[in-house]
Amino acid sequence: MNDTPAKPAAKKTTAKKAATKTAATKTTAPKKATAAKKTATAKRAPAAKKAATSRTAATKGAAPAQKAAAPARKPESRVAMVRRARRINRELAELYPYAHPELDFTNPFELLVATVLSAQTTDLRVNQTTPRLFAACPTPEDMAAIPPEQLEELIRPTGFFRAKAKSLIGLSAALRDRFDGEVPGRLEDLVTLPGVGRKTANVVLGNAFGVPGITVDTHFGRLARRFGWTTAQDAEKVEADVAEIFPKSDWTMLSHRVVFHGRRVCHSRKPACGACPIAPLCPSYGEGETDPEKAQKLLKYELGGQPGQRLKPPADYPGRPAAPLAAS
């Protein structure tokens, strides 16, 4: 029997196996590609989820900051600012109808001396010190002649007593020699006296001579900036800016009212915003304590049920007088 015809069959079988293998390879390739794609997708999924989680966390973390951000204020025109400032003055006049200089004095010389002594200390401490001082030196002639060591001892409680004694002896001698022992009633003359600047001169002019003046002390300057009346830090610039807002006739009482408010409510470190009657008019509301009950505890002097700063306050002052130095 001849085996030759069987060879083509073998070839056919081999070809069939090769075709089957090729088909299997083709079938396997897409499966592998699909599996690889699924694997890559699976790997990317946690990363994408992690990134999404990070973005969500970042968004949640940013939410409080966005919530806390105060709405932007519309720019205030000059006319609107002046109207608001004058309304603040009217509100302060209702709140402090008894506003006054918080230094005890009976004449221009006593006020001048007390104002010089008030630098770097409280009006209360000055008021507790001046009774003994004026008993020993009632006139410029007396103060110019007193031994420096004796004067230093009399004013020691006010602090910086050596520098202040030098100024007091110098200004007293100037009053004696140049002004016949009288305190001059002009700013130009007052500022030539030792230890006397514009602030002291305006205090004396406004309260001893009835000449309008703006007293820019630390309280007045702070509130003028908080109220948006000025951005200046220099006292003379603050005075000039505020003088353009208010009529001259208001200057002296405006000074008393603003200083009163700064000492009683609008403190430097922690203003009592929640107990402030003019809070709706103040662009700086929120800088201090806004809770009404907590803010009420921050009020001082007569508003807080405490004694005032003057030993002999005006008759219309609603609070209690301060205690003398020996009893404090």
The catalytic residue positions are 199, 217
Q: Are 287 and 271 in contact (CB under 8 A)?
A: yes
Closest to 171 (Cα-Cα) out of 210, 150, 200: 200
CB 204 within 8 A of CB 183: yes
Structure tokens that stand for 125 in this block:
């401490």
Contacts 24+ apart (CB under 8 A), 154-160: 154/129, 155/117, 155/129, 157/125, 157/128, 157/129, 157/325, 158/117, 158/118, 158/121, 158/125, 158/126, 158/129, 159/120, 159/121, 159/125, 160/119, 160/120
The number of residues making up the chain comes to 328
What is d(CA 14, CA 12) in angstroms, rounded to the nearest whole number? Answer: 5
| 207/197 Cα distance (integer angstroms) | 16
Which are the contacts of 165, defined by CB distance < 8 A and separation ≥ 6? 148, 151, 152, 155
CB 227 within 8 A of CB 283: yes
Q: Is 137 annotated as a binding residue?
A: no
Element (H, E) at 60: helix 6-68
Is 282 among the annotated ligand-binding positions?
Answer: yes
Q: What tokens were used for 251?
A: 């200057």
Taking the C-alpha atoms of residue 26 and residue 33, their distance in angstroms, rounded to an integer, is 11
Numbered residues of the known binding site: 266, 273, 276, 282
Numbered residues of the known binding site for [4Fe-4S] cluster: 266, 273, 276, 282
